[in-house]
Each structure stands twice: as C-alpha cells, then as structure tokens.
C-alpha cells in the first residue's frame, strides 16, 4: 500500500506541529488527493506563490 506523504503533514498542520506545508507545482496532484480526503480541508487554506508553489496554512474557523 502506498502512503501519501502529505497525509502526515496535514495531520501535523492541524495539530499545530507545523505552521505551514509548502507544495511545489510538480507535487500538487499528490497533495490534492490527501487534502480532499482530509475532514478539515475547508480550514486548510493555500496561498499561491511564484512558479506554482503554494503555501498551505491551517485557519481554525471560529
């Protein structure tokens, strides 16, 4: 079974162990698969940067 490396990073992001997850353009589809399956995906918000790099942060809804 292949494990998506972004699943663990998203878990750490939500728990507060990570401040952000940086996703390069080449890795976006792998990240997207983990993000879509995550129950708190609406609170994981991305900010587009240069050259297809996206920085995702966890924004807790109030």
CA distances from 17 to 26, 51, 52 (A): 25, 27, 25
**Length of the chain, in residues:** 62
pLDDT per residue of the chain (62 residues) written in tens, 0 to 9: 678 999 999 999 999 999 999 999 999 999 999 999 999 999 999 999 999 999 999 998 75
Non-local (6+) Cβ contacts of 46 within 8 A are 23, 54, 55, 56
| pTM score, whole prediction | 0.89
């Amino acid at each position: 079974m292949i494990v998506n490396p972004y699943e663990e990073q998203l878990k750490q992001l939500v728990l507060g162990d990570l401040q952000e997850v940086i996703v390069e353009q080449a890795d976006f589809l792998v990240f997207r698969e983990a993000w879509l399956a995550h129950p708190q995906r609406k609170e994981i918000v991305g900010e587009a940067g240069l050259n297809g790099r996206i920085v995702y942060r966890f924004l807790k809804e109030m």
